[in-house]
Structure 1
Amino acid sequence: MYAGFGLRIDSELPLPDLAPAPDRAAGPDVVVRLGVVPPSSSAGCALPRGFWVDGERIGVDVPDVGRYACERGTRITVEPVPGASPDALRLFLLGSALGVLLAQRGLLVLHGNAFIVDGACAVVLGRSGAGKSTLAAEMHRRGHVVLSDDVVPIDTAGRALPGWPRIKLWRDALDRIGLPTSGLDRVGPGFDKFHVPLERPALGPGPVPVRWIYVLDRHDGPLRVVPVAGAAVFTSLHEHSYRQEILVGDLRRTHLARSADLARAARLARVDRPRGVDSVVASADAILADIEREEQHASDGARTVGA
């Protein structure tokens, strides 16, 4: 039995990157089984990028890897392609499939990373290649606990859940932050991208309240942090949802409700970075300075009210 994303996971596929579940006597929240996954029926609906919905099943077909089906937020069935590597099967299980299952369980699942600052959580969002993981590695280097990378589930109380304790980084990103690739596992065959394991406290962390959300972007100008408000907040949260292709029907309605809850609890800002410039250190500086200003402003406001 494994622990990840706030769940106890009973998996037939070995998941060595996840921690053992602390309470083995309790039953699993999710079971993962190998087996035949029937394709979507004629009543189902094909979605982009290999996803499909068929009644209570949401599935994804991954070429040269396998077919995954998630049911009712409690079960994932995996049908491997003959010869598929265990690493590839695990990668898509802990990514796309588990992301779908978390959405089925009513969580808001974002495509980004989350790290802890002074007991609260900051979430960094951005398109693929925006530098989210490199920024997470920089925050980890500075001593901030990284809760999750790539898949960030947020519960109904507005708390980010700890995920797979690793960051995926391309070789050039590792070179920039001075980490050698020796001893690191590749994300997949032929990929010049590696799993970087994260150190975490022995007993945690648990869920952490989200207070700040930052969206990485590029522009023709200096680095700046720009607050985002109103409808643009919902647009950003939808755009940077994990596997937004599945947000149809009830899942779309749940996503909007969870987004509204998060918008009331957290502040969202855009981090505009100069185009063509390696700005990971400066971006980390800007985000942490913005958080410090917000905390100072909140502290000053509390003193004023109490005066």
Structure 2
Amino acid sequence: MNYLAFGLNINADIDFSDMLQPSSESANVTIKKAVIPEEDFEFTNVFRKGVQASIAFKDKTVILNWEGIVRCQISAGKELLYQDLGDDQQTLKLFLLSEAIGILLLQRNIFLLHGSAVLIGKQAHVFVGEPGAGKSTTAAAFWKINQTILTDDLVAIDLEKDRPMLIPAFPQFKIWDNTVEGLNVEPSLLRPSFEGNKKYLISQDFDSFPTKPCELKSINILTLEENSEPLNMLNVPIELLKHFPLPHQILRGLVHANHFKSAVKLSLTSKIVKFNRPNGFDALGTFVQNMTSEYEAK
């Protein structure tokens, strides 16, 4: 079966029909089951479901290992092999669509950030920030007023065009339990998340979810700092490096250099600002309404 995610036409031997839109196009990426030998793995800075990922490099492939869950081998931006290590299938699918697909996108020269993105009008707006700064809650507040969440974890940006383009991920996002209460989300929309009882999954409408890249208008860096200094262009590459979503071992050589150059390009073509997220759901609601009104009017 062929599916669409992150602008990729994916042929997969695992059923993604509850998460991904079907694709009628020829596949340019393959996801399939395989036996992947253990390597001399090194622990990364990435945790999911309480499990620390480990990584190895072999020839031109990257092998990502989540003990007891899945082992992935990613090659040439075209092939993602996986070995099921014993967890349930829903968890397996979500892990394949996180750092594993991120490595494949990086191999295809896509610029990546850890954050959320929403669509206002025809333009994309990204929210990144340190843990607890409120990027996913902010995105959910936009969804609550009928805006589309383009991604809530892995932000993929194509810089090959004249303008940077945000590549929609897939029509599903995660929401925290306190956000469910604060935004008064209808319980019937919630599904359990693999990350425990404090997160839920929400699916957006498949038919209306964008399938084409959207022009990137702004990157909003949310901070918990009381008196953060204004962001200037010289700080942008360092600031965005903090929000690289993949294991730090990947950021070496040309990958590191390209990330820096891409961040500089973004600073010249997109609005990049740093600020504290409004405190409290009432203030957040006002912020979201104002930002929506501002950009829908343009």
* TM-score under structure 2 length normalisation: 0.85
Contact 2:118 2:139 in 1 (8 A): yes
Amino acid in structure 2 at the alignment position of 1:97: A
Question: What residue ranges of structure 1 are gaps of 5+ in the alignment?
Answer: 300-307
Distance in 1, Cα, partners of 2:289 & 2:272? 14
For residues 66-215 of structure 1, what are the structure 2 equivalents within 5 Å? Answer: 66-81=70-85, 83-156=86-159, 157=161, 158-182=164-188, 184-188=190-194, 190-199=196-205, 201-202=207-208, 204-215=210-221
- Distance verdict in 2 for CA 1:190–1:29, change over 3 Å: same
- Distance verdict in 2 for CA 1:231–1:30, change over 3 Å: same
SS in 1 for 2:283: helix
- Distance verdict in 2 for CA 1:288–1:12, change over 3 Å: same
Contact 2:71 2:84 in 1 (8 A): yes
The question of 1:38 aligning with 2:37 is answered yes
Distance in 2, Cα, partners of 1:116 & 1:33? 32
Contact 2:127 2:221 in 1 (8 A): yes
CA RMSD in angstroms comes to: 2.7
Match of 1:21 among 5, 20, 23: 23
The question of 1:51 aligning with 2:55 is answered yes
Deviation of 1:18 (Å): 0.3
The equivalent of 1:304 in structure 2 is none
The question of 1:260 aligning with 2:264 is answered yes
Distance in 2, Cα, partners of 1:290 & 1:181? 27
Distance in 2, Cα, partners of 1:105 & 1:186? 32
With 3-12 and 113-122 compared, the bigger mean Cα shift is at 113-122
Amino acid in structure 2 at the alignment position of 1:20: P
Percent of paired sites with the same residue: 24
Deviation of 1:253 (Å): 2.3
SS in 1 for 2:152: strand
SS in 1 for 2:197: coil
Deviation of 1:38 (Å): 2.3
The equivalent of 2:274 in structure 1 is 270
Distance in 2, Cα, partners of 1:293 & 1:173? 24
Contact 1:45 1:53 in 2 (8 A): no
Question: What residue ranges of structure 2 are gaps of 5+ in the alignment?
Answer: 47-53
Distance in 1, Cα, partners of 2:74 & 2:58? 10
Distance in 1, Cα, partners of 2:22 & 2:218? 30
Instruction: Please give the per-residue CA displacement for 1:224-260, whole angstroms capped at 9, x wherever unaligned.
Output: 9x75222211112111121152222232222222222
Deviation of 1:54 (Å): 2.6
SS in 2 for 1:236: helix
* TM-score under structure 1 length normalisation: 0.83
SS in 2 for 1:143: coil
